[in-house]
Structures are given as structure tokens and as C-alpha cells.
């Protein structure tokens, strides 16, 4: 028979381990509930010349990708106003913020591209928002910068997470596809604009940067002192999926074409990171693969 002391010790031991396990379970559950699933997704503008890949034939695929992977916030690129309307109709829990790159309006005529931020209305409260142009005149709607072929913009939102009460910034952008100088200067402008906000709050930056990790704009964004880092390299879980984001509607990530990113500052922790190559019998929702990160805010 065990002595009374031994029985008591065993009893305390069981209580200790049960309490510890319960604490760990509740901590893990709380972290999971507070985690935010962020996506960067160039959805390809609605181009009638795309044939079978024209937007009306893809919109359900794009919505399905966002829904199935349970994205809470999506930085969209190349989204026309008509495409934003379609996505909200297919996913009524989502709202969006953005201004058109050509005139700074929400109802452009003719329709043109937004770098809009799509978000779950039930999860987030929009506290503040703005858009600036990637040019020598950032506050001038429609301005084209440096050697860019087209007007380019960055839209940002300050959110409060209803689940945790924490506040953070989400910036979303699309760099020019032709102007090499424009991409470099856009990166410098972006880092400058993020500077003051990155010092005080968690910051997430999504976008199609039209550059690879070996190119100068990427180096500028991730340079020491910028406050930003590539989420892929900070993920606690190893990266999932291809290492390229350009598909051209034909291949799940053409090698050497990682041009879409999620960047974060040091007040954001990355749990998971993926580039998603989901397809429907060989059909892709866009000519870019979406990037997904599950993050926690400090």
C-alpha cells in the first residue's frame, strides 16, 4: 500500500499535469482564434481576349479559392470594380476598400484597376484608410511615376480585429510591369510611407511587385532598417507549395517567377506560409498563384 504522503503527492502531480495541459490547450486555442489568414492574389483583370480564361468563367474559381482557404484579408491586384462587385456578391461576408488607379474614384468610367483590400466584415473593423500613387506626386490621382507604363498605387487600411481587439495596418500594392526605375523608386516610397506606422503597430504588406528576390526592389523592401521581412522565411512551419507565383494560366508556378509576396514587420509572427497551386482539371483561377500566410499579431 502507498503511504498517505505518496497518495497525496501523486494526486498533486496529476492535478499539476492536468492544469498544465489545460493551460496549453487553452493557449493554443486562443492563438488559433486570434490568427489571421492573409492572402495576396492578383486575380487578372477582366480581359475579353482571354478566351476560356475570361473573368466570367473564372470568378467562381477565385471566390472558391478565397473561401476554401479561409482567407480573412486579401490584398487583390488587377481587380476592376465589376470584379469586386462579383466577388462581394459571391462572398457577402466580405467588404473592401480601394480607389481606382486612374482617377482615385470608387466608380471609374471607364472601369479600371484597383489594388483593393478585401476583408471579413464580421471579423474586422475598418478604422482608417487611404491610397497613394507610386509616383513623384503620390497624392495626385492618376499620376504615373518615373518610367512606369501605367499609373500604380498602394492602398492601405487600419483594422481592429474583433477577436483580439488588436489594431494593425494592411498595405496592398502593384508595381509597374515595365519600368525598372519605377519599381525601385516605388519600393523606396513604400518603405518611407510605412516607416512611421511600422514603428507603432503590426504591419502587413501584400502585392504583386513584378520583381524576383534577386532584384533591387525586393532588396530595398527587405533591407536592414526597412522594418520589413519576407513572410516565407519567417514561417514556423516549412513553406507549402511551389516557389513561384506566375502561372500564365498553364503551369503551377513557372520556375524562377516569384513576384507576389507577403511582407511583415517584427510585430507580426508567421505560423504558416504557402503558394497555392489549386486547379480545376488543369484550369487555374488566375495567371498568378495566390500567396497565403497565417499570422499572429503581437
**The pLDDT of residue 32:** 60
**The pLDDT of residue 197:** 76
**The pLDDT of residue 272:** 98
**The pLDDT of residue 137:** 98
User: Within the chain, which residues score under 50 in pLDDT?
Assistant: 1-2, 5, 8-9, 12, 15-31
**The pLDDT of residue 256:** 81
Give the predicted TM-score (pTM) of the model. 0.89
User: Rounded CA gap, 236 and 241, in Å?
Assistant: 15
The sign one gets for the Cα dihedral 221, 176, 203, 272 is negative
Helix (H, G, I), strand (E, B) or coil at 196: helix
**The pLDDT of residue 3:** 52
Per-residue pLDDT tens digits for 170-187: 999 999 999 999 999 999
**The pLDDT of residue 91:** 98
- Topology given in CATH for the domain delimited by 36-297: Deoxyribonuclease I; Chain A (3.60.10)
**The pLDDT of residue 94:** 98
Crossing angle for the helix pair 81-90 and 59-68, nearest 10 degrees?
50
Q: What is the dihedral of CA 57, 41, 297, 162, to 10 degrees?
A: -30
Amino acid at each position: 500500500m502507498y503511504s498517505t504522503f505518496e497518495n497525496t503527492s501523486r494526486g498533486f502531480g496529476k492535478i499539476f499535469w492536468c492544469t498544465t495541459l489545460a493551460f496549453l490547450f487553452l493557449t493554443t486555442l486562443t492563438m488559433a482564434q486570434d490568427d489571421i489568414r492573409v492572402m495576396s492574389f492578383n486575380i487578372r483583370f477582366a480581359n475579353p481576349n482571354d478566351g476560356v480564361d475570361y473573368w466570367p468563367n473564372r470568378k467562381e474559381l477565385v471566390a472558391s479559392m478565397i473561401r476554401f482557404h479561409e482567407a480573412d484579408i486579401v490584398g487583390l491586384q488587377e481587380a476592376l470594380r465589376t470584379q469586386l462587385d462579383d466577388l462581394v456578391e459571391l462572398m457577402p461576408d466580405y467588404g473592401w476598400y480601394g480607389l481606382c488607379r486612374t482617377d482615385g474614384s470608387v466608380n471609374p468610367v471607364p472601369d479600371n484597376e484597383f489594388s483593393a483590400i478585401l476583408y471579413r466584415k464580421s471579423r474586422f473593423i475598418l478604422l482608417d484608410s487611404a491610397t497613394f500613387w507610386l509616383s513623384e506626386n503620390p497624392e495626385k490621382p492618376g499620376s504615373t511615376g518615373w518610367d512606369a507604363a501605367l499609373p500604380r498605387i498602394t492602398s492601405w487600411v487600419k483594422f481592429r480585429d474583433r477577436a483580439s481587439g488588436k489594431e494593425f495596418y494592411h498595405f496592398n500594392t502593384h508595381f509597374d510591369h515595365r519600368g525598372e526605375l519605377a519599381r525601385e523608386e516605388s519600393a523606396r516610397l513604400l518603405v518611407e510611407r510605412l516607416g512611421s506606422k511600422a514603428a507603432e503597430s503590426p504591419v502587413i504588406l501584400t502585392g504583386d511587385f513584378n520583381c524576383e528576390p534577386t532584384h533591387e526592389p525586393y532588396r530595398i523592401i527587405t533591407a536592414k532598417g526597412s522594418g520589413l521581412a519576407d513572410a516565407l522565411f519567417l514561417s514556423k512551419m516549412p513553406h507549402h507549395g511551389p516557389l513561384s507565383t506566375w502561372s500564365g494560366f498553364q503551369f503551377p508556378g513557372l520556375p524562377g517567377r516569384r513576384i507576389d509576396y507577403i511582407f511583415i514587420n517584427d510585430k507580426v509572427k508567421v505560423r504558416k506560409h504557402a503558394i497555392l497551386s489549386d486547379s480545376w482539371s488543369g484550369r487555374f483561377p488566375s495567371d498568378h498563384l495566390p500567396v497565403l500566410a497565417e499570422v499572429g499579431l503581437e
